Structure 1
């Protein structure tokens, strides 16, 4: 009887172990749900020189993401090169916010750069301030033009190179999307030259988070530089040129 009980106990343990391994395998095989970010403003109607709360609502499936690594809002006025990058704070329930005052009438671009759960998401919205309007024609133009240089493309190339100083190693990041999905496994190079100079440097960028590529570079002197991002993957060969101010 005692031997029978021992045998039965060992069998139960073995079955439990098999079930645990099966459960673990099922979890590994199950694809991760995509992290999604919705950008809103409160209030929705924005007046110049009045404080507005800009929100990024981060979710994964039905779950509210409260543990994002970081959320940053990149904001600039349509037609202007000057951009600002502001770190958001978690307000609760997966809502990350900043307070922002838009100084004048116009259409503004807002990108919520979000790193959460090994994913990088960067939705862009356009908001009208004061008497400005976001027209359908502008939306159609921007869907091709924003981040693609002077040619139409399904690839979105976005260079982040803020606060760059001379004689200091700076990290520049490139975010890539294709058909609204993060573009992974690409070969990315930054072509760098000072405005008006003939000498060009080529610096590779390495992929970290999905669709995010980083490159470290030291600019030897202050001034205006051109940075052209070259992207290759299979038959894809795209590029985008940006101006970077080095202080």
Structure 2
């Protein structure tokens, strides 16, 4: 009996020590608020056609280099073609450094945005890359606002699209919002969801801001098939942004 009691006490102490270790990993300021992530994004700003574009992100929190990020992913697209963006997974080189490479087969102006999720926080700075002669984008720039959902200058939205969504099971949706590189807090966010085979019925889902600039909601799909989700964002002034995404439910 004493041996069992001693074993239980030991297990309890190990669990308590593990919990303390996790708490210590979250850096907070003197008021107890988690310190923000700082991400220094560096890219090759000028390169020849087919030349290697090096992408590096140094992630820190306070004076600590972050080696345990949940996600560091580089999103790349050509000017005026945000809907055709692709993502490049990074390599964790330790000391807070995450790297990746890409290249392009034609002249153009390209955007690189790194999406960093770590310790319950998210940030996504952006840089530009000129390939070859840079290309001509006058028409694309004129239609850029409409093409990218009319986003206001400085506003960024990153929808973390779930995988393997199944009918009858709860799915969690998360979107990160930023304004001028900082978490966009206390926004009015709603998800509008509908089945493409039944476009007259739209469900509206309210969200919670669990972390600064991170908005989460759960939804259970009643049917399989192609669906659409539109994210609506408002503030208490004149901001009204939205993005639409196609999703497949199995």
Shared fold (TM-score greater than 0.5)?
A: yes
Equivalent residues of 1:164, 1:245 under 8 A apart = no
Q: Which residue of 2 aligns with 1:160?
A: 160
Q: Which residue of 2 aligns with 1:70?
A: 71
Write the distance in 2 (CA, Å) between the matches of 1:83 and 1:151. 16
Give the TM-score of the pair, scaled to structure 1: 0.67
Q: Which runs of 5+ in 2 are unaligned?
A: 1-27
Q: Which runs of 5+ in 1 are unaligned?
A: 1-25
Equivalent residues of 2:184, 2:212 under 8 A apart = yes
Structure 1 segment 206-245 matched on structure 2, within 5 A: 206-217=208-219, 220-223=223-226, 225-235=227-237, 238-245=240-247
Matched residues, number: 218
Per the alignment, do residues 109 and 182 of structure 1 end up closer, same or farther by CA in structure 2, a change over 3 Å counting?
Answer: same
Once the 2 structures are TM-superposed, how far is the Cα of residue 56 of structure 1 from its aligned partner? 0.9
Write the distance in 1 (CA, Å) between the matches of 2:49 and 2:174. 31
Q: Which residue of 1 aligns with 2:48?
A: 47
Per the alignment, do residues 228 and 88 of structure 1 end up closer, same or farther by CA in structure 2, a change over 3 Å counting?
Answer: same
Write the distance in 1 (CA, Å) between the matches of 2:201 and 2:111. 34
What's the Cα RMSD here?
A: 3.9
Write the distance in 2 (CA, Å) between the matches of 1:38 and 1:146. 29
Q: Which residue of 1 aligns with 2:12?
A: none
Q: Which residue of 2 aligns with 1:37?
A: 39
Tell me, what secondary structure is at the counterpart of 2:178?
strand
Structure 1 segment 105-144 matched on structure 2, within 5 A: 105-132=107-134
Task: Note the alpha carbon deviations across 1:135-189, whole angstroms, 9 max, x for none.
Answer: 9xx99997xx499722646643333327566747654431112343202343421
Write the distance in 2 (CA, Å) between the matches of 1:99 and 1:174. 26
Once the 2 structures are TM-superposed, how far is the Cα of residue 195 of structure 1 from its aligned partner? 5.3
Give the TM-score of the pair, scaled to structure 2: 0.66
Once the 2 structures are TM-superposed, how far is the Cα of residue 96 of structure 1 from its aligned partner? 0.3
Equivalent residues of 2:151, 2:241 under 8 A apart = no
Once the 2 structures are TM-superposed, how far is the Cα of residue 191 of structure 1 from its aligned partner? 0.8
Equivalent residues of 1:190, 1:229 under 8 A apart = yes
Q: Which residue of 1 aligns with 2:175?
A: 174
- Higher deviation after alignment, 121-130 or 63-72: 63-72
Tell me, what secondary structure is at the counterpart of 1:92?
coil
Tell me, what secondary structure is at the counterpart of 1:29?
coil
Equivalent residues of 1:73, 1:88 under 8 A apart = yes
Q: Which residue of 1 aligns with 2:7?
A: none
Per the alignment, do residues 78 and 205 of structure 1 end up closer, same or farther by CA in structure 2, a change over 3 Å counting?
Answer: farther
Once the 2 structures are TM-superposed, how far is the Cα of residue 207 of structure 1 from its aligned partner? 3.0
Q: Which residue of 2 aligns with 1:19?
A: none
